[in-house]
Amino acid sequence: MKLLLIHTGGTIGMAETPDGLAPRKGLVEDAVTARLPPGAELVADVFDPLLDSADVGPSHWNRMLETIRRHPGIPVIITHGTDTMAFTGAALSQALAGENRRVILCGSMLPLGQKGDAEGNLDLAITAAATQGAGVFLAFAGKLLPAAGLVKHHSHEADAFRSQPQAALGVPQRRTFIDRKLAILTLSPGLPAASLKAILETLDGAVLRIFGAGTAMNDGQLLDVIADAVASGKRLRAVSQCEAGGLEPGAYAAGAGLWGTGIENGGTETPEAALIHLWLN
């Protein structure tokens, strides 16, 4: 058995210092090596410097993808901080669609050696990596979750993640992430049309989190801003502010004006998944 480890950083690989928790080189690699069955070979790619996941973005997803593709046919474990785990899960799930790779994301709420969740999550990740079947998953809190629709629903508890079902992934138009100015924006009562216009003018596209099953306020100026942005070629994709259930255009008259702007329907996509869709399609 050969296993590829990509260690990006995060809490799982930190240790106590006089100034508080900080990354410690070799901690994760040693922990994985100690858990491998006899005869197994570990291939490690370690980010330098190790990253807090708050700093992970498209260039880092490209590096992960490049490393995975440089080692064909090998199962992969990626250790990663929890704060942007949902974005990386969506990014790798969509970019690797159809490539028949098995990738297991792993992180923790407490570092290795702190009698917390790190060791159990790593044990589960190694077991899951050795299992047959393609896909990108998160090993966390005793569960193996599909990574395409991850939601971090708690900021402190060990059982921090859920996974929302996503539509079957098609093969994306792009396999890596290009330089695009994209963002997730939230519709809120009283949002000034001028503010939304100013933000959209700086972007190539955006995910817009709208109400419930697909409604928006009946504000003609706001709807005109959205329609004008779509007409100018900007990609705007709608998702629900609700964690589960997704959108159903036409279910409520209050959404008619919004759907008339030409905004895309993200369906059951999480905001993270919708953002990655815009990047790759």
pLDDT tens string 257-274: 999 999 999 999 999 999
> 234 in helix, strand or coil?
coil
User: To 10 degrees, the CA torsion angle through 269, 272, 275, 280?
Assistant: -90
The whole-number pLDDT of residue 12 equals 97
Give the per-residue pLDDT at 192.
97
pTM, to two decimals: 0.96
Region of residue 247 (phi > 0: left; psi between -120 and 50: alpha; otherwise: beta): beta
Q: Residue 64: which residues within 8 A CB-CB, separation 6 or more?
A: 6, 8, 78, 88, 92
Tens digits of pLDDT across the chain (281 residues) = 899 999 999 999 998 888 888 888 899 999 999 999 899 999 999 999 999 999 999 999 999 999 999 999 999 999 999 999 999 999 999 999 999 999 999 999 999 999 999 999 999 999 999 999 999 999 999 999 999 999 999 999 999 999 999 999 999 999 999 999 999 999 999 999 999 999 999 999 999 999 999 999 999 999 999 999 999 999 999 999 999 999 999 888 889 999 999 999 999 999 999 999 999 99
The DSSP annotation for 166-184 comes to: -PPPPPPS-SS-----EEE
| 220-240 pLDDT tens trace | 999 999 999 999 999 999 999
Positive or negative: CA dihedral 47, 51, 56, 58: negative
pLDDT at 118: 97
Cβ–Cβ under 8 Å, residues 240 and 210 = yes
Residue 22 has a pLDDT of 84
State residue 19's pLDDT score.
Answer: 83
pLDDT at position 251, please? 82
